[in-house]
Amino acid sequence: MTKTVTPSLRERRKAETWTALHEAAASLALERGLDQATVEAIADSAGVSARTFFNYFRAKEDAVLGLQEPVLDPQLVSRMSPRIDLIGQVSRLLLAVARTALGSTDALRHRQLMAAYPHLAQRQMEYMVKAEALVCEAVAGVLAGDPSWGAGAEGFDADDTARMLVMIAGVPVRINLTSAGYDPVRGLRPEDLDPSLALLRQILRNLL
């Protein structure tokens, strides 16, 4: 039986403050413009101090997009096997970790903000790179536990192997996010990766 963990009062208040700051930042950016969405204006709208703002976000751009440090669930890694559909496992792990960096944001509003301020994509990419680094480290650990994956090709080590594997496994995620049928409101779910993973396997079989 899975034990339900109830957030403490402190955790609930932190989540409420994070949400209030993000909502204020996103609303101000859309209504008044990104330049007018200063840290002071965001904090004031959320009912907190500017000092408190920096306990939750490193910059106003992070608050506008609802970005936060990515988190990797150790339980997801513990269930990974280096011998069974490893590319599929890594793709789904990448998606899970990337989603933690985006927080609980309004997908449609997020898309509007990205369209209005394209340079925000660079800020988001920084967090995606962090998510990828977490997954690389975890995958390297999984591979290290299997003798057949313990060493890379000549001139490369196990970490290089993990990094290349993560890059390959990221392709199905990117294919889905950039497809004409992608719905930003619905978002990307693990099962959505199945068709693109099948295509990747077919391509690799044909190449090799």
| pLDDT tens for each residue of 53-72 | 999 999 999 999 999 999 99
Q: pLDDT, tens digit, for every residue of 8-55?
A: 888 899 999 999 999 999 999 999 999 999 999 999 999 999 999 999
Q: Quick one: DSSP state of residue 104?
A: S
- For residue 2, pLDDT over 80 is answered with no
pLDDT of residue 140: 92
Provide the whole-model pTM: 0.85
Residues 197-205: contacts with CB within 8 Å, 24+ apart?
Answer: 197/87, 197/88, 197/91, 197/172, 199/172, 199/175, 200/87, 200/168, 200/171, 200/172, 201/87
pLDDT of residue 48: 96
Using CA atoms, how far apart are residues 115 and 43, in angstroms rounded to an integer? 24
Q: pLDDT, tens digit, for every residue of 151-184?
A: 556 667 878 889 999 999 999 999 998 888 888 7
Max distance between CA atoms of the chain, in angstroms, equals 59
Q: Which residue has the tokens 């920096």?
A: 54
pLDDT of residue 1: 46
Picking from 140, 150, 37, 124, the residue whose alpha carbon sits closest to that of residue 80 is 140
| Intervals of CATH 1.10.10.60 along the chain | 9-65
Residue type, 130: K
Domain range 9-65, CATH architecture:
Orthogonal Bundle (1.10)
Using CA atoms, how far apart are residues 118 and 108, in angstroms rounded to an integer? 15
What angle, 0 to 180 degrees and rounded to 10, lies between the N-to-C axes of helices 107-116 and 120-144? 120
Could you give the C-alpha distances from 9 to 5, 47, 71, 80, in angstroms and in order?
13, 19, 21, 34
Q: pLDDT, tens digit, for every residue of 107-149?
A: 889 889 999 999 999 999 999 999 999 999 999 999 888 877 7
Tokens coding 3: 């034990």
Using CA atoms, how far apart are residues 81 and 203, in angstroms rounded to an integer? 22
pLDDT of residue 78: 92
Q: Which residue has the tokens 């939750």?
A: 56
Sign of the Cα torsion 196, 200, 206, 207 reads: positive
Tokens coding 57: 């976000």
pLDDT of residue 64: 96
